Amino acid sequence: MTTMHAESDRHFYRDADRAVLGGVCAGLAGYLGFNLKMTRFLAFIAFLMAMPVTVIAYLAAVFLIPSVSSGQIDTVAESHYQRCRSRREKRRSKQAPETVDQPRSALADELSRRCKSMDERLARLEKHVTSKRFQIDQELSRL
C-alpha cells in the first residue's frame, strides 16, 4: 500500500483513549497529524471567540462521529480497506472482463477505434460551435 493510498483510506474517529470531554480534539489531532495540546488550545481559542458555534459544532461532532479506541482503529481500518478492495475488484471485473484475455493487438485495435470515435465526435462538436446557427442561438439566449 502506497503512502497516497494509505492517506486516502484514513477516517476521522473520536479517540476514546485520549479523550478529555468527547475525544473530538484527540481524534482530529490524530487524523490531521497535529500536536494534541495545540489542537486543544486552538479549540479553546475557538470556544472563546465564537462560543455558541463552537459548542454546537463540538456537540454535533460528539454525537455524529464514532468513537474508537486505539486497539480498534487497526481492525476498523483493515475491514474498511478490505471492503474498498473488494468493491474495486468487482468494478474492474464488470468494466472489462474480456480485455484481460485479449492479445495486445486486439487491445491496440480497440484503443485505435475509441480514439477515432472520439476524434469524429470532437470534429462534429467543433463544426457545431463554429456554425452560424450556434452563434445565432447564443445571441438569442442573451436577450
The answer on 126 and 58 residing in a single domain is: no
Domain count, the chain: 2
Range of the domain at 62: 3-95
Please give the distance of CA 29 from its chain centroid, rounded to a whole number.
20
Which are the contacts of 29, defined by CB distance < 8 A and separation ≥ 6? 15, 35, 36, 38, 39, 40
The answer on 25 and 70 residing in a single domain is: yes
Tens-digit pLDDT string for the chain (143 aa): 444 444 455 677 787 777 788 888 888 888 888 888 998 899 899 999 988 898 898 889 888 888 877 665 555 555 655 666 777 777 777 665 555 555 778 888 888 888 888 888 888 888 888 888 888 888 888 88
The answer on 50 and 32 residing in a single domain is: yes
Query: What is the pLDDT, as a whole number, of residue 84?
Result: 66
Query: What is the pLDDT, as a whole number, of residue 6?
Result: 47
Query: What is the pLDDT, as a whole number, of residue 49?
Result: 92
State how far the Cα of 124 lies from the Cα of 65, in Å rounded to an integer. 50
Q: Does pTM surpass 0.85?
A: no
The answer on 72 and 8 residing in a single domain is: yes
Long-range contact list for 13-17, CB < 8 A, 24+ apart?
Answer: 13/65, 13/66, 13/67, 13/68, 13/73, 13/76, 14/61, 14/62, 14/65, 14/66, 14/67, 14/68, 15/67, 15/68, 15/69, 15/70, 16/67, 16/68, 16/69, 17/69, 17/70
